[in-house]
Amino acid sequence: MTRTWDIFCSVVDNYGDIGVCWRLARQLSSEPGHSVRLWVDNLESFRRLCPAVDPAQALQRIKGVEVRRWGATFPRAEPADIVVEGFGARLPDAWLEAMAARLPHPVWINLEYLSAESWVEGCHGLPSPHPSLPLVKHFFFPGFTAATGGLLMEDGLARTRDAFQGDPAALAAFWRSLGLASPGDSALRVSLFCYRNAALAALVEAWSCDPSPVVCIVPEGTALTQLSHIAGRRIEPGSRIKLGGLSIAAIPFLDLEQYDRLLWACDFNWVRGEDSFVRAQLAARPLVWQAYPQQEGAHLRKTSAFLERYASALDPAARRVQCALIEAWNRESADVGRHWVALRSHRNALAAHARDWAGNLAAGGSLAIKLAEFCEDRLK
């Protein structure tokens, strides 16, 4: 049955919130064919991932989704069958009152952040009644097991990725579109997307001394700013610089589709936060993840929980270095340099493992489909 959805996205900082909400909106609209309205409080950030967005428009339709500006003055509108707040985005009081007045009341979902920690299974789907209105909010947790909400992965993703990765002409055309020649077979291609990280200088040093050439492709942003400091000169998107055996290729910030292709085309991907982290896993290529830094080391617990799952099927030696590298990167320790050197000899094992891992992710289920089913059960 076709349902109507309101998804509210408040862009706190960075791009992960809108990346996730936009993917969810698109998939609900294209796969179960639902009617989706996406409310976004920062259309400029949204445009970086999706150039079709016009920040001047309060209402626009993009890829089947109605995109609405969520500004200080909220337009009068009837709440949909299902209302999703992305990551605790606080709904306007007038909207909550309209939800309470609508019969039947909408199903109200808070889409939570992803974590591999085991407590997620116990909290997924829990209800929380509103203190004064006749509304119940449910917490929907993404995750890696069938007892969680699963991960955002659109239908046909693996097929499209495999076709791209297996097509030398498509790969060459992609590199050309970024202004890069196809790297030679011996060059290792890494993409870099990270937060401020004091360990980057040690990583750059290790890459520049690597026995085979390394090409680091870095979209505009924090990583590029840090590389400029390390190199001692401003690196603009479009420029290429060499530091020993390392070539740094600075590129513009890509749209979501092109960023996926970058992840598919590289041999290793440095990713961060939530959405690039999931897409890198779905790219079926080895990854190094920097979790969103949090107080009291919460991000380190998240990192360990992920590694416990991700690295368990690797042979012990490869597991040790894979874990050591990601842990050092998250602790911003200069040890990343020596762990990178150690990791290089496990390259084939890590590549095979990344493929298996990507294939097994489907077992946790597709988040958009699970969410639609969860809501349907509550609408009946």
Task: Pick between residue 180 and residue 318 the one whose CB is nearest to ligand TRH.
Answer: 180
Q: Which one among 148, 247, 269, 276 touches ligand TRH, defined by CB under 6 A?
A: 276
Give yes or no: 274 in active site.
yes
Burial class (CB within 10 angstroms; exposed 0-12, middle 13-18, buried 19+) of 211: exposed
| Shortest distance (Å) from residue 300 CB to ligand TRH | 15
Task: Pick between residue 237 and residue 245 the one whose CB is nearest to ligand TRH.
Answer: 237
Which is catalytic among the residues 6, 17, 41, 81?
17
| Shortest distance (Å) from residue 13 CB to ligand TRH | 5
Per-residue burial over 58-91, b if 16 or more Cβ lie within 10 Å, else e, is eebebeebbbbbbeeebeeeebbbbbbbbbebeb
Give yes or no: 332 in active site.
no
Binding to ligand TRH by CB under 6 A, coded x per residue (else -) over 159-198, reads ----------------------------------x-----
CA distance 202 to 221: 19
| Shortest distance (Å) from residue 50 CB to ligand TRH | 8
Using the rule CB under 6 A, is 275 a contact of ligand TRH? yes
**Can you read off the two tokens belonging to residue 337?**
């340099």
Q: Could you tell me if 203 and 332 are in contact, meaning their C-beta atoms sit under 8 angstroms apart?
A: no
Task: Pick between residue 4 and residue 304 the one whose CB is nearest to ligand TRH.
Answer: 304
* Among 72-80, 142-150, 272-280, 296-304, the segment contacting ligand TRH (CB under 6 A): 272-280
Which DSSP string corresponds to 81-124?
A: SEEEEETTPPPPHHHHHHHHHSSSPPEEEEEPPP---THHHHHT
Using the rule CB under 6 A, is 145 a contact of ligand TRH? no
Q: Could you tell me if 246 and 207 are in contact, meaning their C-beta atoms sit under 8 angstroms apart?
A: yes
Using the rule CB under 6 A, is 88 a contact of ligand TRH? no
* Among 25-33, 174-182, 254-262, 330-338, the segment contacting ligand TRH (CB under 6 A): 254-262
Instruction: Calculate ∠ Cα 85-36-29, nearest 5°.
Output: 120
Residue 136, CA distances (Å) to 108, 115, 131, 300, 368 in order: 7, 23, 9, 32, 20
CA distance 369 to 322: 32
One-letter amino acid identity for 64? G
CA distance 16 to 335: 28
Binding to ligand TRH by CB under 6 A, coded x per residue (else -) over 216-235, reads ---x----------------
Using the rule CB under 6 A, is 253 a contact of ligand TRH? yes
Q: Give the nearest residue (CB) to ligand TRH.
A: 16
| Shortest distance (Å) from residue 338 CB to ligand TRH | 27
Binding residues (CB under 6 A) for ligand TRH: these are 12-17, 19, 49, 113, 193, 219, 253-256, 259, 272-277, 292
Residues taking part in catalysis? 17, 274
